[in-house]
Structure formats: structure tokens, C-alpha cells
A and B are shown apart, each in its own frame.
Chain A
Amino acid sequence: MNTNRLIDLLSTNLEPVSHDRLRRTLILGMVTGGTAAFAVMLATVGPRAGLLSTTHLEWSGIKLLFSLSVVGMGSPLLIRLMQPGLEKETHWALVWLPFMVAMVAALLAFLFCGHQEWREMLLGASTVSPARCLLLIVFFSAIPLAALFWAIREGAPTRLKLCGTIAGVVAGGLGATAYVLTCRSDTMPFIAIWYGTAMAFCGFLGAQIGPRLLRW
């Protein structure tokens, strides 16, 4: 094939492109994924009892602050990673900032409580709570991850592993947001460690599948 012919082909009937297409696609992916995660939560385990009582509402607020700040930190990074040439100056470590803040808060909670309460703070409502938290957050994150990957494929990521990681963490944040409504464990160490681990694990999964699924 002659390159000049290809150039003719590509510039024939050229369509103008809208400048905010990437942003809109990513938002659509996040809204779709988040809604799906919420629907899966309602259809499977359902919200916890007494969700609307005052103390539980306060704890839910703290949990949402954590999961949504992960989403809020991660999504602007994703937009940048979808655009070639912007990835170098992206401070991608910012996505871990909410994790650090939560860990510091957890350490403070440990310090201000006696040894005898540590076990309960770590395990949450019951001994199966950590496992339930990990499994459900990862489970709820599956559809958001698929939706985010779909959106990222509209872009042109050049660092696929990094992009997969951040997409995984953001999907984990959306999954954790859905999980908040069914979470029965109201302690800071529980939130920092188990929510954190689950979201970080989603990032790990994203890093594994990113290079294969995000190629273009």
C-alpha cells in the first residue's frame, strides 16, 4: 500500500471531533459501573439493618469519604493516562494518599484504645467480617472495572500497566462505595486495613489484565 493513498483515505470526509469526548466517556463508564455495583449489592446481600440510625450514618460517612476520595483522586489521573504525552508528569502516587490518611487514622485509633479492644477493632462486627469485606468489595468492583476498561479503550494509554492499576483502584473505590451500605463493622482500623486491602487488590488485578486488554 502506498502511504500517500492512505493519507488521502484518512483525510477524505474528515469528521470534526469534540474535545471533551474522553472526559464524557470516562464519566459515563464511572456512572454505569458505580450504578451496576450498587444494583449488584442490592440484589445480593442488601443494605445492613439500621443503616439510617445516627451512629451508623456517621460511620458510613467516614467509609464513603475514604472510598469516594480514592475515586476522586484516581479519576483525574485516568484522564491523563488516556492522553499520550501527559503521562510523564502525572503524579500517579497521589492515588495512594487516601490510603495513607486512613492508615494514620487507624494507628491513632489503636493508640487511644486499650490492648483488649484491638482484636475487636481489627475484626469488626464478627470474625468473618474481614473476609466478607474483601470478597464483596472485589466482587462489586468487577463491573466497574469492566466499564472503566471500556472507557479507557476510547483513549490512547501508553503506560498500560500503570493505567490498569489506577483503573483497578478506582473500580475498587466504586465497589467499596457500594459495599459501605452493607458493611456492619464500625471501626477505623477495620476500614483502613480491609477496605484499603480490597481496593489495592483491585489495583493489582487491573495491573495484571491492563497490558493485555488496553493495547491499541
Chain B
Amino acid sequence: MEELAYDQERELRALITAGLDGDAEAYHRLLERLTEHLRAYYRRHLARIGHGPAEAEDLLQEVLIAVHTHRHTYDASQPFTPWMHAIARYKFLDYLRRTKSSLKDMPMESAEELTAHSDMGAVESGLDLQRLMSRISSKARIAIQYVKLQGLSVSEAATRCGMSESAVKVAVHRGLRALSLRISEERRP
């Protein structure tokens, strides 16, 4: 068990380190691995307040975007699992506050609990990307459309939008942050 956690930590840490340097393949792999762990983590915790797998998937997607837009807060000299666990736990507590659910006995857990289980069965989340996209600024929407959905390079997107390359990068980053905020608003009663 301990050895497993250690191996997972080593693998995830190698992936995030490569991802921070811009290795898209490693980063993709990292997000897939995190998805398995986070899905199991949120399904287990949300089941205890009577929420189903679709809500867990919403929360998982919000966390994936949060991990992405806050990936610069990971310090490569530190272990990865506590970083990920702190984000997962923060977003879970935020979810409880937002949905006015209470969980009096949310136990103090160890960071390894996050990677102790994994669950492959995906469900659709209730989130509609097109609808969420319609609620962010048009500049950010176009930038995300070109760079993230159609996969144009930043310089191509910059030419098409008539913006500078750094303006496109900023628009993508702000747009993704706005998307994650919109997701959290969706669930507010």
C-alpha cells in the first residue's frame, strides 16, 4: 500500500514536471490519471451527502480546469500528492458550501487517500461546454475556440483574431478561469 502510494507519487510527479515544461503528452496522461483518482474520490464523498455520479463528474471537471489554471502553484521541489489533495479537498468543501450541504463528519484524511482508489467508469457531466462558453467574454471564447478546441497554434490564432500572441495566451488563460467560475455558479441554488 505504502509502496503503491510511493510509486504513484513518483509517476504523477514526473508527469506534472514534464507538463509544466510544456510536454503536452505527459500532461494529457497526468490529467487522465488524475481523473481516475478524483472520480473515485468525489463519488465516494458525494455519495455520503446523497449526491450522484453526475455531480461528482461536474466537480471533477471543475477541478481539472482549476488544476490547469493553477498549475503554476505547484512547486516542483515539493511532493505532488499533497498539492493535488489540497486542491481536491478545497473544491469539495467549496462544493459543500455552495450546495448548502453539510458533512459534519468529514474526516481528516491523509493525502494518500486521494490516490488509494481509482475508478474508470465515466459518465457525462451535466455541464454543457457550449452553454458555458457563451457566458464568458467573446475575446476569451474565440481564443479558446481557436487554440484549445481547434488546435490552431497561438501565432495562427493571433493572426486570425488580430491580437498579439501574448494577448491570445492571456485571453485563453482568463477564459479558462472564467469557465471554472461559471461551472461553480451553475450549481449555486
Chain A residues near B (Cβ < 8 Å)? 1-19, 21-22, 82-88, 154-156, 158, 215-216
Q: Which B residue's beta carbon lies closest to that of A16? A: B22
Residues of chain A contacted by B180 (CB below 8 angstroms): 216
Q: Are A7 and B35 in contact (CB under 8 A)?
A: yes
Q: Are B27 and A11 in contact (CB under 8 A)?
A: yes
Closest chain-A Cβ to B148's Cβ sits at a distance in Å of 5
Q: Are B61 and A84 in contact (CB under 8 A)?
A: no
- Taken together as a complex, chains A and B put the C-alpha atoms of A9 and B144 apart, in Å, by 9
Which of B27, B35, B147 touches A3 (beta carbons < 8 Å)?
B35
Q: Are B86 and A6 in contact (CB under 8 A)?
A: no
Residues of chain B contacted by A17 (CB below 8 angstroms): 20, 71-72
- Evaluate whether A10 and B151 lie within 8 angstroms (CB atoms) in the complex, with A83-B73, A156-B73, A215-B94 already known: no
- Taken together as a complex, chains A and B put the C-alpha atoms of A1 and B124 apart, in Å, by 6
Q: Are A13 and B153 in contact (CB under 8 A)?
A: yes
Q: Which B residue's beta carbon lies closest to that of A6? A: B61
Residues of chain A contacted by B27 (CB below 8 angstroms): 10-11, 14
Residues of chain B contacted by A215 (CB below 8 angstroms): 94
Which of A1, A7, A21, A85 touches B127 (beta carbons < 8 Å)?
A1
- Taken together as a complex, chains A and B put the C-alpha atoms of A1 and B78 apart, in Å, by 33
B23 near A: Cβ within 8 Å? yes
- Interface-centre pick from A9, A19, A85, A86 (highest chain B CB count, 10 A): A85
- Taken together as a complex, chains A and B put the C-alpha atoms of A24 and B168 apart, in Å, by 21
